[in-house]
Structure 1
Amino acid sequence: MPELLDRVPDLVLLQRRTLWVLSAGQVLSGISFGATVSLGAVLAARISGDDGLSGLASAAITLGTALTSMPLAALAGRRGRGLALASGMAVALLGVGLVIVAVPTASFAMLLTGFLLIGAGQAANLQARFAATDLATDASRGRDLSMVVWATTIGAVLGPNLVGPGEELGAIVGMPALTGPYLFTLAGQLGGIVLYLTALRPDPLLLARADALTRPQASGLIARPDRPVAAGYAMLTVVGAHTVMVSVMAMTPIHLLHHGATLTVVGLTISLHIAGMFALSPVFGMLADRWGRLRTIALGFAILAASAAVIALGASDPTWVTVALILLGLGWSAATVAGAALLTETSAAELRVRRQGRNDAAMSLMGALGAVAAGGALGWVGFEGLALFTLPVIVVVVVLLPLGRR
């Protein structure tokens, strides 16, 4: 691996190029998944004939993400980020094909299998943010990671808006109803695969390892003893923030509709929530670099607590619920960006990628469990009680904050 360094004299320029490639890949993936998720529940309900099964599409994607996060991380550890990211998108591409075939054949099992495989693409998206840290320094790690997270905003906004044009395009080429938008998904996945295989060279993970071996003190890259306690705390912050966010967000549309809100209001609320999640991530990334990872984590969970308080006091008012959802997105962004940066720099090189995969698997699995539990809690204690039920998670993370220094 040291021979890689002879071909790349300026790691700063290479890191800048790597961030552009990863960001472009996130845009392509975001466009793909925007259309996929928008229609998943509709297709599941139509093919199964039961609206109660509509949520299984999203559940299958989340489960697929959890199941493939660690294998993709292991592949990255052996062969580099480019192959791992492309492989995740290739598996998702196969899943999209199964979904398209499942619609005319009315095969519910094939549909769910397709969505399960699509989860591998989401696992690749999560891994991309860690790929942004491979060549980053202490002074830029949070910012670099957050820039790739921010790129998700573009795809998340564009993707759902391609459903209409996709249906028209699908009708022209003779595709079954509600499958036309998946043409954009196919194109996005193919574009991402080609991009990662051809443009993510030299591979940032392999190059970082070579640089750490050759110039551990001069490069400014991570070459420190392992800090398992701090790394474990970093994973707790990311998983905790994600569980809180998903639990509340998943039940918001139902709550708003029960209180007389229109679909337009519901859509606006969720859009503003997504903007809170991604649009300001570079701000939190720079804050994590300059102010510190743990302080930014504390800020994130303080914002999550404020979101819960706003819901508890104003759950019957759609305006206050919207404010709370924006705060929920901002708190998630601050905590997960700083937590991911902390996990990366507290893990020894030989353990780093493996822990990143475990982090993403746990994040996806707990998010799914949180959404399921929130459904029961909503009927039991209401939306206000559901928000308050997230406070123990917030308190635990804040109380254990000193572990992040160990």
Structure 2
Amino acid sequence: MPGTPQRAGPKTQRRVLTVLVASQALGGAGMAAGITVGALLAQDLLGSTGLAGLPVALFTAGAALGVLLIGRISEQWGRRPGLALGHSIAALGSIGVIVAAWARTVPLLLVALFVYGAGTVTGLLARYAGTDLASPEKRGRAAGTVLLATTFGAVAGPALVGPTGTLAAALGLPRLTGPFLLAAVAYSAAALVIALWLRPDPLLLARELRRHAAGPQAGGQRGRRFETGVVTGAAVMICGQLVMIAVMTMTPVHLTQHGHSTQAAGVVIGVHVGAMFLPSALTGLLVDRLGSLPVAASSGGVLLAASLLAALAPPTGAAGIFALATALVLLGIGWNMALVSGTAMVAQAAPAEAGASAQGLADVGMSVAGATGGLASGLVVAGAGYPLLAVCGGVLALTVIPLTARAAHHRPNAPRPPENPVNPVNPVNPVSHEKPENPVNPVNPVN
């Protein structure tokens, strides 16, 4: 046991982050496939704009199941088998979508999108793996670094809609399956990277360090921290996910309905996905410096601005493309702020012995919100138009502000307690965990 703490130094954390960054860059390219052409593929096979949001609803609903499965496996056996399995499931789902589109079989397409979604959630769950061994003052940056890595593949994926479509056509497949060909290869490679190189397992090592360093009284204030941290963090992420998915899902459909090309829609989604992940390092720094709640509250304002701009953007011409691209950049930034700040709250408050499960439950809420937003978005656009959908998204985004204000008001003592209970990851601890409790009384001669 004495040698265990040395294994969790900065070198180990850097190694874990390097492996996660590599897998995320690959997984990002796979994730972009469903975002970019999922709605268009469904519109083609189902022949209905009202059901164009169904793919996003299906793969976000699949994500809810995937979160539970990957969370349970990670809880039992560690992050490595959980994340590797998740990427493998996403690759399998991608192949299923290709086969379904080639055979024009709608039931198979729906099942494959569900499986694809169950795997794509792995990319988001990986952010928690980045925080497992991070010290409290660097937890936001650790989550941000992992999310930032997704940018490389996520931006490249939509930009390759044209070339991958050409490749698919050359293979005798529908052009819209091109991004899913890329996804199948990218997710398979990501699974291999995790399975071969994510050693030591960050969750298992962090849990061992906490047990080694934490005193027996570590659970005293855990219930209150769990309630305020996990519930507030999850609510912030859920709200951001619901608004982002609803507006983003129907943007490609809105563009193509007004005469823009699939490639143009792919570029708009590409800059949006880039904005979802590119600011992650800066957002993480802000969370570490300013705190999670101010960043979370600000995300509501950014999402509101994005939604209103999308609602007011002209649907045709170069000005329309530019305005929608700007709106979706803001939408991505607002989502990123909600995700990183919410992640830091959940990671800090979740109990060590059930961290992966608590994190998984928070992400289940995100998946359900995404499924709801994806399904409702198509129905709203079919019945009332894209601008109304965007306005509704802006109104929902505002709920983050009173939510975070309430959490700040009900947490007068919260900023201090989390620092010590989480610190056992650093080998400094058994002593520093208990020091804030005892020195107050023994130093005074009253006792």
Count of equivalent residues: 400
- Give the one of 361, 364, 370 matched to 2:364: 361
- The aligned residue for residue 277 of structure 1 is 276
- The aligned residue for residue 121 of structure 1 is 119
- The aligned residue for residue 191 of structure 2 is 193
| SS of residue paired to 1:287 | helix
1:34 and 2:32 aligned: yes
User: How far does residue 40 in structure 1 lie from its aligned partner after superposition?
Assistant: 4.0
User: How far does residue 21 in structure 1 lie from its aligned partner after superposition?
Assistant: 0.7
Alpha-carbon separation, structure 2, partners of 1:372 and 1:182: 21
**5 Å matches for 1:133-148?**
133-148=131-146
- The aligned residue for residue 307 of structure 2 is 308
Gaps (5+ residues) in structure 1?
Answer: none
**5 Å matches for 1:4-403?**
5=4, 8-35=6-33, 37-41=35-39, 43-44=41-42, 55-166=53-164, 176-178=173-175, 182-216=180-214, 225-226=222-223, 227=225, 228-256=227-255, 266-311=265-310, 318=320, 319-378=322-381, 382-403=385-406
Answer yes or no: is the 8 Å Cα contact 1:133–1:344 preserved in 2: yes
96 and 287 in structure 1: CA distance in 2 versus 1, 3 angstrom threshold: same
CA RMSD of aligned residues (A): 3.1
Q: Which residue type is aligned with residue 29 of structure 1? A: G
Alpha-carbon separation, structure 2, partners of 1:265 and 1:180: 16
TM-score, normalised relative to structure 1: 0.86
Answer yes or no: is the 8 Å Cα contact 2:39–2:249 preserved in 1: no
Answer yes or no: is the 8 Å Cα contact 1:149–1:281 preserved in 2: yes
User: How far does residue 272 in structure 1 lie from its aligned partner after superposition?
Assistant: 2.7
User: How far does residue 182 in structure 1 lie from its aligned partner after superposition?
Assistant: 4.6
Q: Which residue type is aligned with residue 372 of structure 1? A: L
Answer yes or no: is the 8 Å Cα contact 1:312–1:384 preserved in 2: yes
Answer yes or no: is the 8 Å Cα contact 1:35–1:162 preserved in 2: no
More deviation, 114-123/335-344: 114-123
User: How far does residue 58 in structure 1 lie from its aligned partner after superposition?
Assistant: 3.4
208 and 369 in structure 1: CA distance in 2 versus 1, 3 angstrom threshold: same
Answer yes or no: is the 8 Å Cα contact 1:93–1:189 preserved in 2: yes
Per-residue CA distance 1:318-354 (angstroms, 9 max, x = gap): 2444333222221111111111111110121133211
Alpha-carbon separation, structure 2, partners of 1:261 and 1:164: 14
4 and 130 in structure 1: CA distance in 2 versus 1, 3 angstrom threshold: farther
Higher gyration radius (CA): 2
More deviation, 352-361/382-391: 382-391
Per-residue CA distance 1:88-117 (angstroms, 9 max, x = gap): 122223323433443554433223222221
User: How far does residue 11 in structure 1 lie from its aligned partner after superposition?
Assistant: 2.1
224 and 31 in structure 1: CA distance in 2 versus 1, 3 angstrom threshold: farther
Alpha-carbon separation, structure 2, partners of 1:45 and 1:384: 20
Alpha-carbon separation, structure 1, partners of 2:311 and 2:157: 32
Q: Which residue type is aligned with residue 291 of structure 1? A: L
Per-residue CA distance 1:29-73 (angstroms, 9 max, x = gap): 122233455454555455556676554433322221122211210
Identical counterparts, % of pairs = 35
More deviation, 255-264/181-190: 255-264
Answer yes or no: is the 8 Å Cα contact 2:25–2:149 preserved in 1: yes
TM-score, normalised relative to structure 2: 0.79
Q: Which residue type is aligned with residue 232 of structure 1? A: V
| SS of residue paired to 1:140 | helix
User: How far does residue 155 in structure 1 lie from its aligned partner after superposition?
Assistant: 0.8
More deviation, 32-41/337-346: 32-41
Alpha-carbon separation, structure 2, partners of 1:17 and 1:310: 41
User: How far does residue 212 in structure 1 lie from its aligned partner after superposition?
Assistant: 0.9
